[in-house]
Amino acid sequence: MSDGRDPIAASASAASGGTVAALPVTPGTPVKPGPQVKPDSPVQPATLPGEARLPMEFSGGFLLLDKPVGVSSFQALRPLKRLFPKTKIGHAGTLDPAASGLLLVGIGVGTRLLEYLEGMTKTYRCEAIFGLASDSYDMEGEVRALDGDAAVAAENLNTETVAQALSPFRGRIRQTPPAYSAIKVNGVRAYALARAGESVALESREVEILSLEMTSFFPVRAGEPARAGLEMTCSKGTYVRSLVHDLGQALGCGAVTDKIRRLAIGTFRVEDAATPAPEAPWEALLPLDQAVRHLPRAVLTAEQVPIFLHGQAVPAKLEAIPDAASSATASTATGAEYRACDADGRLLAIATLNAQGWICPKKVLVRP
């Protein structure tokens, strides 16, 4: 789960199966499936300027999306729903409307693999503003300037003080999510309860901060509060706003978060992302296996493929991932997950290993 308040949303429809072709699309123009016409027919469908047709074999893929400030994660998907009509679309991880950065979007069959992206580490950049407090832990809530000892502490901050205070927040820590978060309390989102004026008490949780660095620091000057730029890589379930709030408490001056931007999810980086309305969405699509490239591979022969796709376990060639970016190995433990591929490398399914060392289909992604 990422630092967000809104639920992950997806359109409700289905997709058909196959490959992806590159077609230019004008932002905001609905994409319509072309009529089915025989290749030798004297009457062929015209393609209007700015119009594209979905390949009949399309099954889906993944898109790296750079969400802008001011829209929810759900709203950021709307242009894509027009570009990929009647196709299921969802995303892994939610960003606040006030935050920007990387969203991993599953399109068509790609939505079935989003769960494998949820647990990846996430990298954020943000700004901590000291001497302030907010009910939402960021600048979007009711913000107030602190006085007394907290104001004095904020005025005395320097680079060394803040850098030293960051140390206890690295590694495995416990933090309490903000009341304004998407966590459900008795089936209701916490932010909905908080907005209704109800008291929200959330339990603390263990998260892991793999790295946490200060990238800049500006002391109090000309009536402006002290602030620090932070960059962190953290586990699923970490709230950036809670970390900054807790940092302010540790410094005795309070702090709120501003300008949250997600830079990466696992090895996917925002530099490679498209805008919410890409001009050529087909060209930006990543193949399905990108979501599970951290899993070792099981290769099936042409004879095994139809047997496997009909639900039967088969022996297979088990491989570790060859690229250096992954540390995955070919586990022989019962229940170990594999990406099952044919001899051409096409992803067929997610599979598990049984006690006999054969692979069993767990989530079939193509039609038998």
Q: One of 3, 6, 66, 96 is an active-site residue; which one?
A: 96
In angstroms, the CA 72 to CA 271 distance is 20
Residues forming a β-bridge with 63: 105
**CB-CB neighbours of 14 under 10 Å:** 9
Angle at 342 between CA 338 and CA 343, to 5 degrees: 120
Collapse the DSSP code of 93 into the 3-class scheme (helix H, G, I; strand E, B; otherwise coil) and give the result: coil
**CB-CB neighbours of 307 under 10 Å:** 14
Token output for 138:
């960021």
Angle at 59 between CA 109 and CA 338, to 5 degrees: 50
- Alpha-carbon distances, residue 96 vs 127, 181, 186, 332 (angstroms): 15, 9, 22, 41
342 is catalytic: no
CA dihedral 337, 341, 347, 351 (to 10 degrees): -20
In angstroms, the CA 103 to CA 252 distance is 34
Known catalytic residues are 96
